[in-house]
Structure 1
């Protein structure tokens, strides 16, 4: 600030006065100069009007806030329900196979497991088919084994006698 009283405060000096950081010289000038004091009061009144308007807007806006809170509660309830459903699905994924295995194992153990559609005639027919396949597979095996005269031989590791069919 210049010491000449005809020179008014700069914008920076007025800003310092608004935030309470003015120097003693600037305070003395504001006390003596009507124009600088009027600028400062006009800005202060503008700030006061802005504060009032923003406060009124906040109060009007807060009237709509419970609707947002209800929406948040709805989302949290939805999240809780989804989390519950996922956890129950995981429990079922783990428990159902275990229960099924336990049930099947107990049926095998007690000999009460019967498969639908496995009649005696079906089992006999399956056995005949398996024997036919076995003969077809071993027919080629016998011809190649016969060349080396390995039709009857004791297996070196098991000590069992192998014979050609």
Structure 2
């Protein structure tokens, strides 16, 4: 969904907007954690804060005459709120290094998905041959079942197999 928002905002504007929203959201979420709210109340508060941040950035962009900043409203607010919540919990449990690794990985995947969706050849194949979605689904399901142990086990137990 973040990659879809990048299509509407352009990649650079989307990355900057995403990083600003998440950064401000994490600051406000750290304050919310001191209030010891229940999960539903905390998520609701984070969603409201995300809506406020997006509205504030849109207003500032409008006042400064930055039309690119107005497209920030295309970001999915629920996804942003859950990203902020997940990163905040990860920050408390694992530290900032894990947050940057996880957030950077998510942005990397979103950027790759944006580049794939923006590619004219991929657009042609996906829009004209709808069955390719089933092939992609099959590949995702296969990758979801793979744990990585099979290849490492083959290498690990090769000496036991002998010269075969």
* Same fold per superposition (TM over 0.5): no
Taking structure 1 as the reference length, the TM-score comes to 0.21
Could you say which structure has the greater relative contact order, defined with CA pairs below 8 angstroms and 6 or more residues apart? 2
Q: In terms of Rg, which structure is larger?
A: 1
Taking structure 2 as the reference length, the TM-score comes to 0.21
Hey, which of these two has a bigger chunk of helix by percent? Answer: 2
